[in-house]
Amino acid sequence: MSESTGANTAKPSSSVKLVLLGEAAVGKSSLVLRFVNNDFQENKEPTIGAAFLTQKCSLPTRTIKFEIWDTAGQERFASLAPMYYRNAQAALVVYDVTKPSSLTKAKHWVAELQRQASPGIVIALVGNKLDLTNDANEAAGEAQPEEGHEPSPADGDEATEETQEEPDASNGDARKVPTREASAYAEEEGLLFFETSAKTGVNVVDVFTAIANAIPESSLKSGRGAGAGTGQTSLSGGRPAEDSRVNLGERGPATAKEGCAC
C-alpha cells in the first residue's frame, strides 16, 4: 500500500461511515481486506456481527477516512443490520456475479437502505468475484494501471482465456448475472455500479474512490481537518446523484487513475 502523497496533509480530512451488506460469502470481507490491506485470504474467519476497519482515501481536494462496518452475511444476521447501517453515509451492497440469488438479496438490501437508512446515503452496487468470469481479464486490464496492486495469481489463470471478449456463452465462464441487468437496475435506482474482484483487486479501489467522490461535502462530518468542506451546503442535494452519474459513465481507467492513493 503506497503512502499518502505529501499534499495529503494540507487537504481537509473527513470521515465517512460505510457499511457493507450482502448475502453470505459474496466476498464482503474480502473486498474490505483488499481495500484496506491489499490482501486476499482464502479462509477468512466469518464475520461475527460486524468487523470494523478504517482506510483513508485521498481525493484531489480532500481526504476521506472510511470507517468501514463489514457485516456478517448469514441470513439470520440480517436483523442485526439496522444497528450497523444506522447513520451510515455510504453503503456497499455486494453480490456475487456467479450467483443470481445474491443480486436479489442485494436488491432487498438496497430497498431496505433506501427506506430505512439515513436519507442521502450513497449506495454502490458491487458485483464481486469477477475473476470467475471470462471478462475478468479485460476488466483486469482496466485496473492494472492502479499502482500498488501486484499481479495476483489469478491473473495467470485468466491468461488462457484472453481471446474471449464476450462474457456470454463461453466455456468456463461462471458468470450468471449479466452486467447489463445489474447496471440497468443500478441506474434505475440511482446507485453507483461496479464489478470487482477482491481476489485480483480489479476495480476494488475504484469503488471506494467513486463513493468518496459521491459523498456530498455538506454531509461530511469533518475530522481533524476541521471545518473544511462545510461551506458548500447549498450544493447538496443535487450533488450525489450527479457524481454517481459521472462515475457510472467513466467507470474504468479514468476513475482508476485519479483513484485514491491509499
Partner 1 sequence: MQWTSFVQKAQSFIDPANFTLPTLTSSDRNPSKASLFRQQFRLPDSQNPLQEITAELILPLPHISPSGDGPRNLDHAGNRYAGRLHLSERFLCFSTQATSFAPSSSLPASTHWAGQTNGTGPSGNGFTIPLCCIRRVERLNSLGHVFSLALTTWNGALGKQQPPGFTPQRFTIQLAGSRQACERFCDGLKKGLREGMKEIENLRIIVNDCYSEYLLSGAKGKASEGDASEVRQPPDAGLGMIFRYPGDARKLRDRSKMRLWGEYFRENGRNATLIRQPTFHKLIRVGLPNRLRGEVWEVTSGSLYLRLRSPKLYTDTLSKFSGQESLAIDEIEKDLNRSLPEYAGFQSEEGIGRLRRVLTAYSWINAEIGYCQAMNIVVAALLIYMSEAQAFFLLSVLCDRLLPGYYSTTMYGTLLDQKVFESLVEKTMPVLWEHLTKSDVQLSVVSLPWFLSLYINSMPLVFAFRVLDVFFLEGPKVLFQVGLAILRINGEELLDIQDDGSFISVLKSYFSRLDESAHPRSENPKLRAITRFQELMVVAFKEFSQITHQTIIEQREKHKDAVLENIESFAKRTSIRNLGPDSKKLSMDDLGAIYDRYYEVLYDNQQRQKLMEEERRRQEKKRVERTSILGPPVDREVGRVGLGPSPTHMDYDAFREFLAVTAKWAVSDSPRKDSSSEQGSNSFRGWGKAASWNNKNQPTDHEFMQRLYRKWATDPEEGISLQNVVNGLARLKGPRDIMNNIQYFFDLYDDEGNGTVDREGILRMSEALLFLSRRGFEGTITPTQSVDDLRAIDRARYEDKLSTDERFLGSVSSFIRRCFEYADPSNPGSKAAAEAQQDADEAADKLGSFSIGDDEEEDLIDVDSDTKSDHSAVMEKPSQLDPGEKHDPEQNRTISESANPALDPNNPLHITLPTFRMVILADELLEQFFDSYFPQSFHLSDHGSYAATATSLSSNLTTFSNINAPKPLSSTMSAPSVGGASGGIVPPGRGLRGVLDNIVSDGIRMAAEVKKRMDEAQRELERNALGRGEEEDEEDEEEYDGRSGPTSAPTIVGGISSWGAGAYGADPDRRSVRDADRDLLEGAEVVSMRGKDEASLLDDKDGHPANAPAEAAAPVPDNVVSKVEFES
The binding site for partner 1 (CB under 8 A) comprises 15, 17, 24-25, 43-50, 52, 54, 67, 69, 72, 74-80, 82-84, 86-87, 108, 111-112, 115-116
Using the minimum distance from each CB to partner 1, give the nearer residue, 78 or 241.
78
Minimal distance in Å, beta carbon 112 to partner 1?
7
CB of 198 or CB of 248, closer to partner 1: 198
| Least distance to partner 1, CB of residue 82, Å | 6
Dihedral of CA atoms 227, 228, 229, 234 in degrees, nearest 10, equals 40
CB of 250 to partner 1, least distance (A): 31
Residue 50 or 174 with smaller CB distance to partner 1: 50
The residue among 107 and 176 lying less far from partner 1, judged by its C-beta, is 107
In the complex, the smallest distance separating the C-beta of residue 50 from partner 1, rounded to whole angstroms, is 6
Closest approach of Cβ 222 to partner 1, in Å? Answer: 12
- 46 vs 145 by CB, closer to partner 1: 46
